[in-house]
Structure 1
Amino acid sequence: MTTGEPTPGLRERTRRAVHREIAAAGMALFLEQGFEETAIEQIAEAAGISRRSFFRYFPTKEDVVLGDLIDRGHRVGAALAARPQEEEPWAAVRAALLALRDEGPVDPAAELRIARMMHQAPSLRAAHLEKHLAWQEILVPELARRLRHAHGFDEVIAEHRAAAIVATALTCLDVATETWMRLDGEVPLEGLWDEAVAAVGA
């Protein structure tokens, strides 16, 4: 069975592997010594490349973190597309978000440190807004398609409703994450998201 997408060549697979190695080296340093305290030169040294080579893969230090977030957004989009057509929109969005947690073992302590790093570093907070916009671009078209299929909405209304749902879902995720950090990760994030969604009457 094929996905319909071309298999990347050796050069592209190599590039992706190096990209992942640099990102992993950067995240390890960020978690060990702090985002703002980590220099690009340190990331390059840890990854075994030059500073110049670093910029061939990442325009900025923030992109080491943001790149993974965008990739996660694409995976959420794929999970949303795979949900049953008749599924209610909010249930489909919730399941798509939770699909990230089903990809493999989750280290709660590492997740908590990453969330706090994102919250505390001003430049990463700005990058987080960019993630919101990118995730909206990924998720809204698929959700609008599902709304047109299920309810017969025209294109404009379907996109309007889909944009409202996705924006609210992501804002509720931010609110849930902040509460989750305040509770030191002792309450499941998905439960806090459910409470946030219920609070806005979605």
Structure 2
Amino acid sequence: MTPRSEGTLAERKRQLVSNELTEAALQLLALKGFDGVTIDEIATSAGVSKRTFFRYFASKEDVVVQFLAGMGADIHAELAARPAGEPPSVALRHAVRVPVAACGDHAERALRVVRLILRTPALLARFLERQAQWRDDLAAELARRLGLDPATDLYPRLAAGMALSAFDAVLHRWSDSDGAEDPAGLTDRAFAVIAPALDAVGARPPRAAEGAPEGG
């Protein structure tokens, strides 16, 4: 076995342990509440030691933060992969639907996790903190797709913010409905509301017209 293959095997093992710890933590936290679960319980559920837990995470909060980081990466990756000529509202809707679809595929588990995040002040704060980073990443990608300068054009940041506000509204509505409403359907409805603004602002005005006084 070469050093490279050994390194790859070690990376895979590390990712497997991380995934098992994340899954065990999310399940326990969702079932018993954030304050009702100890790190010892999480480690036992995952079949590892407490010392092993701290090799991967600094706290219970960090487990959820890593889960959220994965959601943000999925949204960004999908936006980057959308066809270049696609309207911004369509591209952003498909991007946001990636984590939403994952919620629908594992509705009972996902609903518990979403409720945990939305109803635990410490986790909600971290969620909002992560969304701020997602907004910056999406704004940069939108600027690249549309040939805009994110330092001077307002559109990329505004559009990214609207898309994430729609995502946030969907999660709250889905949680409040006890999972009765379809998250994918809620996403489509949310983007139907903001699509006109996304696509109208996405059409960049001619440079000669920018800054021209109203009425001529």
Q: Does TM, normalized by the shorter one, top 0.5?
A: yes
SS at match of 1:156: coil
Structure 2 length normalisation: TM-score?
Answer: 0.78
Higher relative contact order (CA 8 A, sep 6+): 2
C-alpha separation in 2, matches of 1:76 and 1:154: 21
- Whose Rg is larger? 2
Instruction: Confirm whether residue 187 of structure 1 aligns to residue 181 of structure 2.
Output: yes
C-alpha separation in 1, matches of 2:160 and 2:131: 9
Aligned pair partner of 2:167 in 147, 168, 173 = 173
Aligned 1:86-165 pairs, distance under 5 A: 86-100=85-99, 106-148=105-147, 153-158=148-153, 160-165=154-159
Q: CA deviation at 1:39?
A: 0.8
Structure 1 residue aligned with 2:37: 38
C-alpha separation in 1, matches of 2:164 and 2:118: 15
Give the partner amino acid of 2:181.
V
Give the partner amino acid of 2:185.
G
- In structure 2, runs of 5+ residues without a counterpart are 198-216
C-alpha separation in 2, matches of 1:68 and 1:78: 16
Aligned 1:54-93 pairs, distance under 5 A: 54-93=53-92
Q: CA deviation at 1:112?
A: 1.7
Q: CA deviation at 1:65?
A: 1.4
C-alpha separation in 2, matches of 1:142 and 1:128: 21
Aligned length, in residue pairs? 192
- In structure 1, runs of 5+ residues without a counterpart are 1-5
Structure 2 residue aligned with 1:3: none
Give the partner amino acid of 2:134.
W
Aligned sequence identity (%): 36
Instruction: Tell whether the 8 Å contact from 1:70 to 1:134 is kept in structure 2 after alignment.
Output: no
Structure 1 length normalisation: TM-score?
Answer: 0.83
Q: 1:91 to 1:105 in 2, by over 3 A?
A: closer
